[in-house]
Amino acid sequence: MHIRVETYIGHSGIEMPRRFFFDRRGVEVAGNLDQWYGPSYRYFKVKGDDDNLYILRLDENRAEWDLILFQSARAEDSSPQPKAG
């Protein structure tokens, strides 16, 4: 899913996501958890201010951003917990 991303230049001179928008919704990046590179792509694993987890991908050749993964914090909270024995 294509998204719009506002960025800032991080301490190492790399463009980093600050907030992003999809489905008429804005999400502030509360934390950058990880980042990695692919051929002509950069990936960011971020936690949103809504406590959800997102993976964003920047196509460096076209300067386009995509939402690759969304994981709801509520889904994790409601997952079955192992029983103590």
| Residue 47: band (very low, low, confident or very high) from pLDDT cuts 50, 70, 90 | very high
Residue 80 has pLDDT above 70, yes or no: no
Phi-psi region of 18 (alpha: psi -120 to 50; beta: other; left: phi over 0): alpha
Report pLDDT digits (tens) over 12-37.
888 999 999 998 899 999 999 999 99
Residue 53: domain span: 2-19+31-73
Q: Please list, in sequence order, all residues whose beta carbon lies within 8 angstroms of the beta carbon of residue 30, skipping any fewer than 6 positions away.
A: 46, 47, 48, 49, 51
**pLDDT of amino acid 10:** 86
**pLDDT of amino acid 34:** 96
pTM, two decimals, is 0.82
Looking at the structure of the chain, the number of domains it has is: 1
